[in-house]
């Protein structure tokens, strides 16, 4: 790893203490700084200045309605073609039964994503939202990545504006942050060239923000991306956030290579997990929340991430499929009590929130 140029460490520290924005060069230096604990301490400073010891969490579940997909992204272990073993479609009834686990929960979140289904018509998606909203009126429906929204616009023969407004009328609460991968043309060309690229992902999130629909942002790291590309990704998110302030949170996602064409790549270390969280906190000065997503980072790393900038611990989750099909060995869900206990045992105060990060207790 490169060492910082003379005076750069002091300058970064001074800027963080004053709440000033870090440059791309400074972000790159932090990615390559050998003293990880120092990087973490800066991120923790920013985090504790805003939130003290508080760590928020949510009672949520994932609903991956189908893994049939018209595309074949290189990092995906989830998608199947119709004639492949392991493909599935959940019926509406089955989804209602799964979601019934949340029936007594106050303002839970249902996180709904799937493949780009080869046969479902556009009307399937608003119908699904409406059914869930009708059955669980207090649930926040965080549904459909920008990639799915783009596909729905194609299916409906309408604009993204129209699709988002139609879905909102049927119950859409916010958009998840998936599909961003790494927002550079090189990664797009190498790993998912048939799927929409970085500009379109940013455009769709910008449209949602303009319509008042909040969204999240992710980065799928730990495959072939460089530190420079990670910085480019963060700066692009920061620029969009400057325009509309529509992002609720940033969630770095550790890539799980098993069962993908990239399976020879190693799973990135815990140190790398917490550095990604810290860089998100330090570079994204206009984002309120940085999330430790334990499903992909591992429980122990998520616990540690609360001292590297993460102020949110996601979540009870329940029945996540996408990462587990890529060999992830974390549990598929957790009770609210064990989540609270884990946060408390790591020295933070658990506070429950809803899908818009409003505090519930």
Interface residues toward ligand SF4, by CB under 6 A: 69, 71-73, 76, 78-79, 115-116, 147, 195
> What minimum distance in Å lies between the beta carbon of 147 and ligand SF4?
5
> What minimum distance in Å lies between the beta carbon of 221 and ligand SF4?
15
The nearer residue to ligand SF4, 90 or 101, going by C-beta atoms, is: 90
DSSP 221-248: ESSS--HHHHHHHHHHHHHHHHHH--EE
Q: How far apart are CA 52 and CA 110, in angstroms?
A: 28
Report long-range pairs for 84-91 (Cβ below 8 Å, ≥24 apart).
86/325, 89/65, 89/117, 90/63, 90/64, 90/65, 90/66
Strands 172-174 and 215-221: unpaired
Decide if 153 contacts 159 (C-beta within 8 A): yes
> What minimum distance in Å lies between the beta carbon of 67 and ligand SF4?
7
The nearer residue to ligand SF4, 72 or 269, going by C-beta atoms, is: 72
> What minimum distance in Å lies between the beta carbon of 265 and ligand SF4?
16
Count other Cβ atoms within 10 Å, centred on residue 79. Answer: 21
The nearer residue to ligand SF4, 181 or 312, going by C-beta atoms, is: 181
> What minimum distance in Å lies between the beta carbon of 134 and ligand SF4?
27
Phi/psi-derived region of residue 194, left when phi > 0, alpha when psi is between -120 and 50, beta in every other case: alpha
Give residues with Cβ within 8 angstroms of 290, minimum separation 6: 47, 249, 250, 251, 277, 280, 281, 284, 309, 310, 311, 312
The nearer residue to ligand SF4, 52 or 118, going by C-beta atoms, is: 118
> What minimum distance in Å lies between the beta carbon of 205 and ligand SF4?
16
The nearer residue to ligand SF4, 40 or 176, going by C-beta atoms, is: 176
Q: How far apart are CA 11 and CA 260, in angstroms?
A: 42
> What minimum distance in Å lies between the beta carbon of 195 and ligand SF4?
5
Give residues with Cβ within 8 angstroms of 11, minimum separation 6: 26
The nearer residue to ligand SF4, 195 or 353, going by C-beta atoms, is: 195
* Tokens matching residue 193: 């060239």
The nearer residue to ligand SF4, 148 or 166, going by C-beta atoms, is: 148
């Amino acid at each position: 790893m490169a060492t910082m140029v003379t005076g750069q460490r002091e300058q970064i520290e001074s800027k963080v203490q004053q709440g000033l924005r870090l440059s791309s060069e400074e972000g790159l230096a932090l990615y390559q700084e050998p003293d990880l604990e120092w990087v973490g301490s800066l991120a923790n400073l920013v985090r504790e200045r805003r939130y003290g010891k508080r760590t928020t969490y949510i009672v949520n579940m994932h609903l991956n309605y189908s893994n049939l997909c018209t595309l074949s992204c290189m990092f995906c272990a989830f998608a199947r073609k119709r004639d492949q073993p392991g493909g599935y479609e959940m019926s509406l009834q089955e989804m209602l039964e799964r979601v019934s686990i949340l029936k007594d929960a106050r303002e839970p979140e249902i996180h709904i994503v799937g493949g780009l289904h080869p046969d479902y018509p556009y009307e399937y998606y608003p119908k699904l939202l409406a059914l869930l909203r009708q059955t669980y009126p207090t649930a926040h429906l965080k549904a459909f990545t920008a990639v799915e929204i783009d596909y729905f616009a194609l299916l409906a023969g309408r604009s993204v504006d129209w699709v988002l407004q139609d879905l909102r009328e049927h119950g859409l609460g916010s958009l998840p942050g998936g599909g961003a991968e790494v927002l550079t043309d090189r990664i797009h060309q190498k790993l998912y060239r048939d799927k929409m690229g970085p500009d379109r992902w940013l455009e769709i999130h910008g449209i949602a923000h303009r319509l008042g629909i909040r969204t999240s942002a992710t980065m799928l790291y730990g495959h072939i991306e460089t530190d420079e590309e990670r910085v480019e990704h963060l700066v692009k998110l920061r620029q969009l956030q400057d325009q509309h302030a529509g992002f609720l949170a940033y969630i770095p996602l550790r890539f799980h290579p098993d069962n993908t064409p990239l399976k020879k790549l190693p799973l990135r270390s815990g140190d790398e997990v917490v550095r990604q969280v810290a860089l998100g906190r330090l570079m994204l000065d206009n984002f309120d929340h940085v999330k430790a997503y334990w499903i992909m980072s591992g429980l122990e790393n998520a616990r540690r991430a609360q001292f590297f900038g993460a102020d949110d611990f996601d979540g009870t989750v329940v029945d996540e499929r996408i990462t587990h099909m890529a060999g992830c060995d974390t549990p598929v869900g957790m009770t609210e009590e064990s989540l609270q206990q884990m946060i408390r045992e790591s020295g933070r105060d658990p506070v429950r929130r809803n899908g818009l990060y409003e505090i519930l207790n």
